[in-house]
Amino acid sequence: MASGQEEVAVTAIHVYPVKGLSPQPLDHVDLSPGDPLPHDRRYAIENGPSPFDPAAPAHLPKSHFLMLMRNGLLARLRTVFDSATTMLVIEEGGREAVRGDLSTADGRAAVEVFLARYCADGLRGPPRILEALGFSFSDTSSRVLSIVNMASVRALEQRIGLPVDPLRFRGNLHVEGLPPWGEFDLVGRTLRSSSGVALEVVKRIDRCAATNVDPVSGVRDMNIPQVLMRAYDHVDCGVYARVAEGGRLVVGERFTVS
């Protein structure tokens, strides 16, 4: 069980500017109360017509978008997003495949043309890049960030007998200092850093078939939810947390649990 004296250290920070595409590692991030990480899931790729309205954005099931659960080939792409210029660069096979300024119609169209070719077998209609001011295309309707406990990933590795890349879980923060599955004991509690950041842990994260996809090769080489259910009688790994008090969070930051 987590205790008030226990420290939890942040070992990695990742943001996912485009839902379903690759993560970007950060050495620090500035958090605001009630918001997810800046630019996290800022964009999504509509897979055929959807009811999403940028003027009145609302949470939709991820089935409306390109996603790893059904479009595993996305994992083979490497992407870099520059929030200052809104330029997205996509690499395929180690080479630049396309770049486009997502704030312009031409830039979005260039990326959409590439994705129409690359994801042709999994499309229900023309792909379209979606954005709405201040909206995050998270799998949950809550404005939260996600935390992955590295000890739980290692425990899962032991059960499977193979390495498990923690990026399969697409978390925002990787943490050390907890026992395996100790993140579940944090629900309803608060993580506080010396810099003043406070994270209220609100919910366990149930895992879907997206975790079966290797985040480098795009191959479906594991059945993570099945292993979790058989070994632990649940399909959860990681937790969601709400930013209660903002500030700068850096890799190496330590939180106490209260």
Q: For 149-193, how does the pLDDT look when each residue is reduced to its tens digit (9 = 90+)?
A: 999 999 999 999 999 999 999 999 999 999 999 999 999 999 999
Q: Where in the chain is the domain with CATH 2.40.33.20?
A: 7-35+140-257
- How far is residue 52 from each of residues 45, 61, 86, 193, measured CA to CA in Å? 11, 10, 21, 37
Q: For 77-99, how does the pLDDT look when each residue is reduced to its tens digit (9 = 90+)?
A: 999 999 999 999 999 999 999 99
Distance CA 73, CA 179 (A): 34
Distance CA 99, CA 111 (A): 7
Lookup: tokens for 195? 């810099």
Distance CA 74, CA 67 (A): 8
The predicted pLDDT at position 69 comes to 87
Q: Which amino acid does the sequence have at 106?
A: D
> In degrees to the nearest 10, what's the CA dihedral of 10, 11, 13, 19?
-110
**Stretch 13-35: mean pLDDT:** 97
The predicted pLDDT at position 5 comes to 60
Select from 3.30.70.1450, 2.40.33.20, 3.60.20.30, 2.10.260.10 the CATH code of 7-35+140-257: 2.40.33.20
Q: Over the chain, what is the mean pLDDT?
A: 95
